[in-house]
Amino acid sequence: MKKIFAGMVLLSPLLMGGVAEADTWNNGGAPVTTMYVYPTYAVVVQVALAASSGPAGSCVSSNAWTVVWSDFDVETQKRIMAMLVSSQVAGKSITTVISSAGCGPENIKKSTGQLKIE
């Protein structure tokens, strides 16, 4: 567990780079129940999510959010996927920062790539 936490701490600055200060809404944290991974994006489905306000509030209100792979370099894509899979396998809650710039694919809330396993 200490290794996972240390890895998350080391990855945090890498995952947070280039994110606008206004991107502060989060999904409230919940275990991942299902993931749909597509070539250009992933949809992460959780047990329950907090409602978003601002521009992200106009996205489809659901228990899901997206990660758009083209927003990140290949190494960051791998780290994000590893965190998502680790969270799901361990049954741990994961929290993400939701973009204030609008919706992602399928008109679902879009993650900035900032993730926290709880």
Residue matched to tokens 């993400």: 96
* 29 or 109: which leads in pLDDT: 109
Strand partners for 42: 37, 67
| pTM for the structure as a whole | 0.73
For residue range 74-114, list pLDDT tens digits in order.
999 999 999 999 999 999 999 888 888 888 999 998 999 99
Closest CA to 92 of 43, 46, 61: 46
**What average pLDDT does range 46-64 have in this prediction?**
70
Q: Read out DSSP for 53-87? A: -GGGGGSEEEEEEEEEGGGS-HHHHHHHHHHHHHH
